[in-house]
Amino acid sequence: MNQYFGGRSEYKINEAIAEFLDKYRLKDGYTRMQIATIWQETIGEVIARSTKKIELKDNKLILYITSPVVKKELLMLRSEIITQLNNKIGKELVREIEVR
């Protein structure tokens, strides 16, 4: 029996990771890190360089952008970006984008 995972002796790796993150209250931090990584993959290097900070609060992705041109472009593409991010994450995590 495995004392760390509720006594189960066999786990799929994704189940073990999910339970570990839940048990040690690391899920939010992991999600934030995952969003930051997926953001760069989704939006591309040029726009990612203009991204100063990313926050996720209550299904709202808050982006701090240094370039006014990039801010405007992101505002126009909000719904497409939300769809792409959620598809890559595999669930509806982002429902709104706020650009600051």
- Could you report the per-residue pLDDT of 29-75, keeping only the tens digit for each? 777 778 888 998 899 888 899 999 999 899 999 999 999 999 999 99
Average of per-residue pLDDT values in the chain: 85
* Distance between CA atoms of residues 21 and 64, nearest Å: 27
4 pLDDT band, cuts 50/70/90, is low
Mean pLDDT of 10-36: 77
The CATH class for the domain spanning 26-99 reads alpha beta
Q: Which residue's structure tokens are 């073990």?
A: 16
Q: Which residues contact 64 (CB under 8 A, 6 or more apart)?
A: 51, 52, 53, 54, 100
pLDDT for 10:
66
How many residues in the chain?
Answer: 100
Mean pLDDT of 83-89: 92
